[in-house]
């Protein structure tokens, strides 16, 4: 039986949004945990249509955060999750960063847990991996929103060219999990290998 990985002092919050690429985020969470990183996962309702919260609970070893409002009396923390989670995280990863979530980030909309915690977060701590159909990506509103989040200091990885769930090839595909993992580890100062 192998020993568990050595725990680091790093804490990452992974925000999973509702796109088909949500399944790829499982690999990212698993690899981070294997590297000893504490990983909290927050999911939108649409993300849970693609991947169940139980999957991320099993991979992270921690409860998955799905609701903006919950009974604080049952929590060990008295701060609401949309305040506590971004404050405690060294890095916040939004993957897949859908056109909808990018629009919320660009315009300060906070109508669910993930968009609320992103509004409460320091933008310099946020790394977003956009993923959407090429037509959605090229839409002027999306281009404007991407420019706005970059201007706020949010880092973007991708999107890439390649095969998309709509059965076409084009730009908009989320970066591969290992590419995202490489950027996360660099941001955390964890040597790869």
Kindly name the residue from 15, 17, 26, 166 that is annotated as catalytic: 166
| Strand-strand pairing, 11-16 and 126-130 | unpaired
Quote the tokens at residue 15.
Answer: 């925000």
Per the CB < 8 A criterion, the answer to whether 56 and 90 are in contact is: no
Quote the tokens at residue 37.
Answer: 């990183």
Instruction: Indicate if the alpha-carbon torsion angle 47, 108, 183, 169 is positive or negative.
Output: positive
Residue 166 is among the residues annotated as catalytic for this protein? yes
Quote the CA–CA distance of 171 and 6 in Å, as a whole number.
38
| Strand-strand pairing, 160-163 and 11-16 | unpaired
Q: Catalogue the active-site residues.
A: 166
């Amino acid at each position: 039986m192998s020993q568990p990985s050595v725990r680091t002092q790093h804490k990452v919050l992974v925000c999973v949004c509702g796109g088909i690429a949500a399944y790829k985020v499982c690999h990212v969470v698993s690899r981070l945990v294997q590297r000893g990183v504490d990983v909290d996962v927050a999911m939108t309702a649409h993300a849970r249509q693609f991947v169940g919260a139980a999957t991320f609970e099993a991979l992270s070893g921690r409860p998955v955060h799905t609701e903006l409002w919950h009974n604080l009396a049952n929590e060990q923390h008295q701060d609401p999750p949309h305040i506590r989670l971004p404050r405690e995280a060294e890095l916040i990863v939004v993957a897949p960063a859908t056109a909808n979530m990018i629009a919320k980030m660009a315009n300060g909309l906070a109508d669910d847990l993930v968009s609320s915690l992103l509004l409460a977060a320091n933008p310099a701590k946020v790394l977003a991996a956009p993923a959407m159909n090429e037509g959605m990506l090229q839409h002027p509103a999306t281009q404007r929103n991407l420019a706005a989040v970059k201007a706020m200091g949010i880092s973007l990885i991708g999107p890439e060219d390649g095969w998309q769930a709509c059965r076409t090839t084009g730009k908009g595909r989320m970066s591969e999990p290992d590419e995202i993992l490489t950027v996360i580890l660099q941001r955390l100062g964890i040597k790869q290998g």
